[in-house]
Amino acid sequence: MPTQLETLRTFTTVVADTGDFDVMRKHQPTDATTNPSLILKAVHDKSNKYLLDRIINDYRNAPLSETASQLLVAFGHEILQIIPGRVSTEVDARLSFDTQASIERARQIIAMYEKVGIERERVLIKLASTWEGIQAAKVLQAEGIRCNMTLMFSLAQAVASAQAKAQLISPFVGRIYDWYKKDAGDAWNEQERSGANDPGVQSVVSIFNYYKAYDIDTEIMGASFRNIGQIRALAGCDLLTISPDLLDELAASDQPLTRQLDAAHAKENAPAWIAANEVVFRTELNQDAMATEKLAEGIRKFAADAVALDEIITKTRAQ
């Protein structure tokens, strides 16, 4: 009997949501995605100290932002020696509301990858799904720099990203689930809000159905999972980025797994077309308390992790 992980690969591209090289070697994902939190965790791993030391030695006198980007690229380069597909590397979350600065940082990261022999087609630049981040993606995509829109919590963000022709979006299943569970408090019923009734799952399904109904090329990658049930409920999504513990759980189970999302079904039940412009985007996002709060929270957390990474670089330089 095939494992659930093996079955999932037949209709969904499996992506490793980690900076752990050993996990990638073990599970052999097609792609890998990182974020500031994962890179910060990886830097603290003693087995990766050689990367930090090498970058500090080579770029001791470079601006701090450049050295941090070089460290991200160093991890991405190592990952791409293991996986056959693409790696996602994130633009500093502190630039989430600055379109031009995000564009310039993305160009810098791509240039760094190309300098070490990595084609830009193997890199996805992660940008926060703010209006400014999405406009940065529009410019970058036109230049052949592929973008992954992260911190996505709403259909409004997904529609605007599609209009910008972003390569890929990463709707955050688990963080949506977290918000609704916290908001419900004692009234939350885990059994009733699991599987297809999970609010995070429902958000991705709505985006999937919209994209497929209108033949939108932007790829959908479900992210930020809290349990294996969320993954099972999204089997058939273009891609799913999965943490090491959940990859292990999928690999250990041989229970049947069936496709849940289907493009043909989406076309037969096409949702209403949605306008995509700045006024609609900001209005719809403002009306969605969950999306507004989780987007802001996510940017704050990733920005704090970027600060922590800067502090590690500064401390190591001083040694």
Closest CA to 204 of 235, 248, 163, 245: 235
Domain residue ranges in the chain? 4-318
Look at residue 252 in the predicted model and tell me its pLDDT.
97
Look at residue 276 in the predicted model and tell me its pLDDT.
87
- Chain-centre distance for alpha carbon 49: 25
Look at residue 35 in the predicted model and tell me its pLDDT.
87
Look at residue 75 in the predicted model and tell me its pLDDT.
95
Q: Which residues of the chain fall below pLDDT 70?
A: none
Q: What share of the chain is helix, strand, coil (3-state, %, to 5)?
A: 60, 10, 30
- Which one of 126, 138, 212, 294 is the catalytic residue? 126
Q: For residue 46, indicate whether it is catalytic.
A: no
Q: Which amino acid is at 104?
A: E
CA distances from 117 to 63, 69, 83, 91 (A): 23, 16, 15, 20
Assigned token pair, 229: 């049930």
> 73: helix, coil or strand?
helix
Question: pLDDT by residue (tens digit) across 43-78?
Answer: 999 999 999 999 999 999 999 999 999 999 999 999
E strand spans, the chain = 13-17, 31-33, 87-90, 123-128, 147-152, 168-171, 219-222, 239-242
Look at residue 36 in the predicted model and tell me its pLDDT.
83
CATH superfamily, domain at 4-318: Aldolase class I (3.20.20.70)
